[in-house]
Chains A and B, each alone.
Chain A
Amino acid sequence: MPVDRAEDNQFEAPDNIDEAALAAVLRVVPLGAAVLAGIAVALVVLGYLLVYLLVFLPRGVVG
């Protein structure tokens, strides 16, 4: 059986990424993800509230 060498494996090959630069990027990335997801969720909630206030409540009693 041939032994896998680290440099043959795309996941383990050295990538020459500066750890400090990576840490700096990772400090910002979650903020961007949160803003993007926040906008998406806010739009869904806004749609829900508009339907609730302008369609559901005026249609009145049911049960």
Chain B
Amino acid sequence: MSDRYHETPQHWILRTELLWAFGVGVLVAATITIIVFTALTRNINPPSNVERVDPKTLHLSGEFAEQNLGTVVAADGTVTARIIATQFMFAPHCIAVPEGRLVTLRFASPDVIHGILITGTNVNTMVVPGYVAQVHTEFTRTGELLMPCHEYCGLGHSEMWANVQVLSAAEFKPDRDGRVTCAQH
């Protein structure tokens, strides 16, 4: 008869619990490894940006003034979209972005906490008044994507959404100022 048979039930239970704890430890380590591996090899990270902005003067001047909203291509080719999330709309309501190029999305809120996600992508962030929420991403398919507010922000929350129009290289044509607006279909 094996030695195990002569152990008391308490020993056997303790052994099982230790084995289970070891298994859970392995799973936790594997999960952390996957997260780090993905971040290092695929450039997939939780969006993180600590940048203050005054919500009271958002619309008056600076980066989020009305004339600066929407998509702009800088001289060096970087694409940045600036969007205001406010009760209960996004400005602009449609955001044009290119397919297959790195895009920087910058959001600010003048009122309450909002949140955005873009369907079919990993873009997902909170928009907190007083801070600029920034997400870098690359859109892999052309087409219209929905961008709803996903943080309850008031009675009109369910009406708060925008379109993201992913345009092919041929369609994504900046004007003289580098600005790109949604194509009218």
Q: Is B19 an interface residue (CB 8 A)?
A: yes
Cβ A63 vs Cβ B5 within 8 A = no
Q: Is B57 an interface residue (CB 8 A)?
A: no
Number of A-B contacts (CB under 8 A): 70
* Contact flag A60-B47 (CB < 8 Å), given A30-B16, A37-B20: no
How distant is the Cα of A35 from the Cα of B39 in the complex, in angstroms?
34
Q: Is B138 an interface residue (CB 8 A)?
A: yes
For chain A, what secondary structure do more than half of its interface residues adopt (helix, strand, loop), or is it mixed? Answer: helix
Contacts of B185 in A (CB 8 A): none
With an 8 Å Cβ cutoff, the count of chain A residues facing the other chain is 21
* Contact flag A62-B137 (CB < 8 Å), given A41-B27, A57-B38: yes
How distant is the Cα of A52 from the Cα of B38 in the complex, in angstroms?
10
Within the complex, the shortest CB–CB distance from A15 to chain B, in Å, comes to 16
How distant is the Cα of A41 from the Cα of B19 in the complex, in angstroms?
14
Contacts of B19 in A (CB 8 A): 34
